[in-house]
Amino acid sequence: MGEVVVVRHGQTEWSRSGQHTGRTDLPLLPAGEDDARRLRPVLADRHVDHAFVSPLVRARRTAELAGLFDDGVQTVLEPDLVEVDYGGYEGLTTPEIRARVHGRWSLWADGTVPGETPGETLAQVAERVDLVLGRVRPLLADGDVALVAHGHVLRILTARWLGLAPEAGALFPLATGRYGVLGTEHDRPALTGWNTR
């Protein structure tokens, strides 16, 4: 039985500055491209047969540099892996959001607000990632599956893999250019590796 390797894209200008980057389609920085290249031998050692990649350029480029568009890997772009729609919080840092709401704010407790886009609830993101996991599970009989996407969506996906509410994604910080492994122990979903470089 294979495992799911969740990969957060390499560093971008906004991930470096701490700005929330949902649907804004930013490229990788040179350091982000280096992050992605470092993932190539890790993924090659795991014998990934299938990969699902967010269509946003930062995830696509990470997957490309990590070798997931090479022969031997069946790779598809997966719109359900795009990052959380932050709505009115797009492009803002957490301190900037907290200044606007006059206090404490956390995506995990307080969510998003409409802006140029409507924003998205954690429950809506959970519905998307549950669909992805439904497509991934049958493929694990053939080997490992890689998912290349974004920090918050992968944290919610991890919570859902473990049978937890989407808010439990708060427990799984994932830095840019890092990966985690979702597997099983005694036939139960388990986190078998996390935030590894």
Residues 63-98 pLDDT 10s:
999 999 988 899 999 999 999 999 999 999 999 999
> Where in the chain are the domains?
4-196
Q: 92 — phi, psi (to 5°)?
A: -100, 150
Angle at 106 between CA 84 and CA 27, to 5 degrees: 40
pTM of the full structure: 0.97
The catalytic position among 9, 50, 150, 152 is 9
Active site residue 83: yes
The catalytic position among 33, 83, 90, 120 is 83
Active site residue 3: no
CA dist 110 → 103, 113, 152 (Å): 11, 9, 14
Q: 163 — phi, psi (to 5°)?
A: 80, 20
The CATH code that applies to domain 4-196 is: 3.40.50.1240
| pLDDT average, residue stretch 2-21 | 98
- Determine the straight-line distance between the first and last CA of the chain, rounded to whole angstroms: 23
Residues 160-195 pLDDT 10s:
999 999 999 999 999 999 999 999 999 999 999 999
pLDDT of residue 71: 83
Residue 47 has pLDDT above 90, yes or no: no
Residues 34-45 pLDDT 10s:
999 999 999 999
Task: Name the CA radius of gyration of the chain, rounded.
Answer: 16
Residue 111 has pLDDT above 90, yes or no: yes
